[in-house]
Amino acid sequence: MAYGDTAIEAVDVRKRYRGKVALDGFDLTVEAGTVCGLLGPNGAGKTTAVRILTTLLRPDGGRVRVAGRDVLADPRAVRYRIGLVGQDTSVDEVLSGRQNLVLFGKLCHLPTAAARRRADELLERFELTGAADRSVAGYSGGMRRRLDLATSLILSPPVLFLDEPTTGLDPRTRIDVWACVKSLVGDGTTVLLTTQYLEEADQLADRIAVIDAGRVVAEGTPDELKAKVGPDRVETVTRKPTLDEVFLHLTGHRPTTEPS
């Protein structure tokens, strides 16, 4: 897909679970080669939206196209054009990192030799070569997340879905995952990232869609959304204040001239 094309398009998507509304007229457009952050609290509908966009769940209504294919009319073609990293790691802890990647390659119908070559490429890309033949059970959280990302890229998909990929990770590991995502986008991958972290969306996303109660309630660049909130403000309350006292409290020194 070329930059400027529409990689993800959802129009008036609706979904109910046992009578409860999960998505209520969800609309989203993501340009190819960009990162879209889907930001919202627990229960807002982020994971439901991702499951529909990745063909894991059928919508009750609306229209969805991913990588140029309709998710209902041609779900198989969509699956060959996307990667998905869920909230929980999908790798086998008993196997080594290399064995996991070769297994995923074979599941994607790569010949054994091609699966091994692709595993070596991804291990090097995600800086896992030194741990390639160790059991994943001994990997750190960050290493597992990087391996998760690697498995989703076996077929070099043009569109990648990341569903809260850094939840539960320590700050340093989160930064490592951010670096991996930025590298993927630099190579032209389109990314839809769901997150609860404002700073994560600010760091990674070209555009942010804020979802609440199953629909997008705000959308724009990080700077546009921050501008809508307004500038930071500090309120100071003192007992029997004078202007000199307030000035001293805020600046750490007394005014050099008398206030008018």
Segment 151-170, tens digit of pLDDT: 988 888 999 999 888 877 78
Residue 112 lies in a domain: yes
Residue 259 lies in a domain: no
Give yes or no for a contact between 193 and 181, defined as CB atoms under 8 angstroms apart. yes
Specify the CATH number for the domain of residue 106: 3.40.50.300
Which residues in the chain belong to E strands, given as ranges?
6-17, 20-31, 35-39, 61-66, 69-70, 82-85, 159-163, 190-195, 207-212, 215-220
Token pair 């008036």 in the structure block, residue: 12
**Best CA proximity match to 58, nearest among 7, 17, 107, 5:** 17
Alpha-carbon torsion (66, 206, 32, 166), positive or negative: negative
Residue 161 lies in a domain: yes
Residue 71, domain extent: 6-232
Name 146's Cβ contacts closer than 8 Å, sequence gap at least 6.
126, 127, 128, 176, 177, 180
Token pair 């404002």 in the structure block, residue: 198
The pTM of the whole model exceeds 0.75? yes
Residue 118 lies in a domain: yes
Residue 247 lies in a domain: no
Residue 238 lies in a domain: no
Q: 3-state DSSP call for residue 119?
A: helix
Least confident segment among 12-21, 36-45, 246-255 = 246-255
Residue 100 lies in a domain: yes
Domain total of the chain: 1
Residue 12's pLDDT is: 97
**Residue 75 scores a pLDDT above 70:** yes
Residue 176 lies in a domain: yes
| Integer Cα distance of 252 and 175 in angstroms | 35
| Integer Cα distance of 146 and 144 in angstroms | 5
Token pair 């609706």 in the structure block, residue: 14
Residue 24's pLDDT is: 94
Residue 241's pLDDT is: 61
- Tell me the percentage of the chain whose pLDDT exceeds 70: 86
